[in-house]
Amino acid sequence: MNIKITGSGSYIPEIVQDNSKFLNREFFDNEGNKIETKNDEIIEKFQKITGIKERRYAKDEFNTSDIAYLAAKNAIEDAKIDPETIDYIILAHNFGNASNNTTQIDIFPSLSVRVKNLLKIKNPKCVAYDILFGCPGWLEGMIQGYGFIKAGMAKKCLVIGAETLSRVVDINDRDSMIFADGAGATIIEKVEEEGGILSHNTASYTDDEVFYLFYGKSFNPKADQKTKYIKMRGRKVYEFALTYVPAAMKDCLDMANTDISEVKKILIHQANAKMDDAIVKRLYKLFNLDSPKKVMPLTVDRFGNSSVATVPTMYDLIVRNKLGVHKIEKGDKIIFASVGAGMHINAMVYQY
C-alpha cells in the first residue's frame, strides 16, 4: 500500500496585473526615503532579477477561503471521491481572509472549516484545521496528511494552499511587485499501485533567520504606521535558500534511495526565478553534475509569488497538460521543495 496524490485542482485568479501597472507607484526604502530612481528602471531591474512579468489578483468578492474552496472542489472532482469520505482538510495560508474593505485579518473561525462548510461536508469526523508555516505550508500539510494516513488515522486527506497576498502588501515597497494570489489543492490517499510519497524532509531555522520575513509598517512615513504589511529581507532570504534548500532535497533523495538521474522534474516554490534556478544548480552541483534543461518548471513569470499556492498550482497545471513542454509520466520521480517565513524549508520525493 502506498500514499499517492489521486486528484489535484487549482484556482488561478482572472485579474492580470503586468509590470506596467507599477509605473505610477511611489516607492520608498526601508528608512522611509523616497526612491528617486525612475520607475521604469526599477521595474526593468526587478523583472531581470525575479523573472516576474505579471501576476494574478483575486476579484474583490473572493477571500482566501473562497479561492481555497474552488481549488478544493476541482481536486475532489479530479479524484472522483465522495467529499464525505475525507478524513482531514488541511489548509495552509499565512494571512487568513484579508478583505479589501478592512485592514483586519479574519481567521476566526478558521479558513479550513469555512472550506468544509462551502463543500457541504456534513461528516463531523472530517477534521478541518489551518496550518501557518510560511510558503512551505502546503508541502508541510502534505507531509502531515501522509503521516495521518501512514499511522492509520486517516484514509483520505484534502490539502490546500491558498493566499491573497495582494491585500497585505505595502504599495510603497518595491517587494509588493513580487506577491500574488492563488490556490492549489490535492487529495492524497492510500492506494494499491506503486509509487507515491517516497520520502520527506523538514527543518525550521529560528535563530537569526526568524525575521527574514515579517509583518511590518509601511515604508511610506506618511502612511498609517499602525497598519502592517508583509516585509522581506530579500538578500537574506536568497542566501538562506541557496544554503539550505539544495541540502534538504539531497537528503530526501538519499532517504528515498533515489539517484538524481532518476528525477524528471523539480517543483520548487515560485518565489524568484533567479533564486530557483540557483537552487537547482546547487543541488546538481552536490552530485558534481550540471542541471539538465527543462527539469525545473517556472510559473512565477506570469503568476507571481502566491506563497503556499505556487507548488500545488504548478503540479495541477502539469498533470492537466497546461504547462507547455512540462509533462509528468506514470512512474516519474519528482521533487517538491519550498522555503519561506519562519524560516522553514521542506522537500519531498514523489513517484507519480
Catalytic residue among 135, 172, 272, 344: 135
* Beta partners for residue 8, in sequence order: 186
Residue 269 is among the residues annotated as catalytic for this protein: yes
User: How far is the C-alpha of 185 from the C-alpha of 190, rounded, in Å?
Assistant: 17
By the 8 A CB rule, do 28 and 92 touch? no
User: What are residue 133's phi and psi, to 5 degrees?
Assistant: -145, 30
Category of 42 on φ-ψ map: left (φ > 0), alpha (ψ -120 to 50) or beta: alpha
User: How far is the C-alpha of 124 from the C-alpha of 94, rounded, in Å?
Assistant: 25
Residue 252 is among the residues annotated as catalytic for this protein: no
Using CA atoms, how far residue 279 sits from 54, 238, 346, 349, in Å, is 23, 9, 13, 16
Catalytic residue among 269, 272, 326, 346: 269
Radius of gyration of the chain (CA): 20
Residue 135 is among the residues annotated as catalytic for this protein: yes
Catalytic residue among 19, 63, 305, 346: 305
User: How far is the C-alpha of 183 from the C-alpha of 14, rounded, in Å?
Assistant: 12
User: How far is the C-alpha of 214 from the C-alpha of 342, rounded, in Å?
Assistant: 9
Grouping H, G, I as helix, E, B as strand and the rest as coil, residue 154 is coil
The catalytic residue positions are: 135, 269, 305
